[in-house]
Homo-oligomer: A and B are copies of this chain.
Amino acid sequence: MDIYDLIKRKRGGGELSGGEWGIVVKGYMSGLVDDGQMGALLMAVYFQGMTDDETAALTDVLVDSGETLTWPDGPYVDKHSTGGVGDTVTLVTVPAVAAAGAKVPKLSGRGLGHTGGTVDKLESIPGFRTDLTVDEFRGAVEEVGCAVAAAVDVAPADHELYALRDVTATVDILPLIVASILSKKLATGAHGLVFDVKYGAGSFSGASEDARELAVGLVEGAKRAERRAAAVLTSMEQPLGRAVGNALEVAEAVECLGGGGSEGLREVASVVGGVMLKVAGLAGDADEGREIIEEKLDDGSAFEKFLAMVGRQGGSADLPAVLPKAAGTHEVPTGTGGYVQKVDAYAVGRSAVLLGAGRRQKDEEIDATVGIEVLKKAGDVVEELEPVFRVHYNLEGRLEQALEVLDGAVEVGPDEPELAEKVLEIVE
């Protein structure tokens, strides 16, 4: 069977068998299928879609392309976020769930586009190592109860495919997103999986219906692979917490882990963590799980677990004092007083990238110290000329670029706005 015929069949709306998806992906990794053919096939998938069987087959082939981890019996549970702005949920939820008795083996990515990545955030802690070997990762999970490391060895074919999708306008294709996310989670091997699927202006999915479709695809795909699974639809209209930028977000996570921090972050972290406990069999339902997580945040045990994890991975435990700081800050005032109607998460995320918190180009060095504090959020009351953002910066030129993007990112009006639900729905 020739790759030409497979492209042509998909182009015509036909289905590829599991074996044929194997030929495609293995051929791509070995060079028998070239970039042109894969680009054409991915674009055909954009127009013709994939059946559930095809998505499952592609997922399996991606899993098989690299390391696969297995774990002993017992509640090993993992989470994935589709990406957001000021979204520090992993840093709070992972140790809190571990404090409640589950094991959490979490492989994470770096920042992508306007959104941050957990690996970048943790690396702002002096000494923290994310480049664990598989054995180191396994040891840390068993000893501490949780570990967060860079996902370098799992699903390498997904990595190759993603790099191609990223330059060929074929990223936003549902079955490909499902296969990509699931392949990494299945390869990591946890028995339970929870997906935090973002909707709203600052998310990749955008509309809540698209996010729901993605959530259903992920949960069904995980169940098909015999995992316990659920998804939480959470709002990304405005930044989730009050901090956007790597060290700033770690500082906010530390606050939240000690029972404080911004309301939005605490709520989403508790709900996602609660669903993880339910999936792990450590809570009867999501509400009970949420209560357990809040307890672990308030009694200090979640923070203790976080410090143990940081210490095990080589980081300094003197948190937040040890976090690096930017040279200067600059406050951005509103023009008029009233109720904050919305804070544009996409603009805030883009602005943070321009400051140096994310990468404008592949392999660019990032600056851990810079970012944006969101002082006012939707529903808050502001006076005329009151600051709404505090920008942390190192270079004047980058500050200027960041301020341009922030201009107009906050909308103020006379009436109290209706707020988007932070947690819209749990998909099981």
Contact = CB atoms under 8 A, between A and B. Distances in A.
A167 B37 contact: yes
A361 to B, nearest CB: 12
Interface in A151-166: 164
Interface size class, chain A: 20 to 34
A170 B40 contact: yes
Given A34-B35, A35-B34, A35-B35, A169 B40 contact: yes
Interface in A63-105: none
State how many copies of this chain the complex holds. Answer: 2
A43 interface: yes
Contacts of A39: 35-40, 43, 168
A168 B47 contact: no
A36 B43 CA distance: 10
Contacts of A46: 11, 44
A8 interface: yes
A7 interface: yes
A183 B376 CA distance: 60
Contact of A37 (B3, B7, B8, B168): B168
Nearest to A35: B36
Interface string A107-151: 000000000000000000000000000000000000000000000
Nearest to A33: B167
Most buried by B among A37, A164, A168: A168
A355 interface: no
Interface in A326-371: none
Interface string A1-30: 001100110010000000000000000000
A4 B36 contact: no
Contacts of A167: 3-4, 34, 36-37
Interface of A: 3-4, 7-8, 11, 34-44, 46-47, 164, 167-170
18 contacts: A3-B167, A4-B167, A7-B43, A8-B169, A34-B35, A34-B167, A35-B39, A36-B36, A36-B38, A39-B39, A39-B40, A39-B43, A39-B168, A40-B42, A40-B168, A40-B169, A43-B44, A44-B46
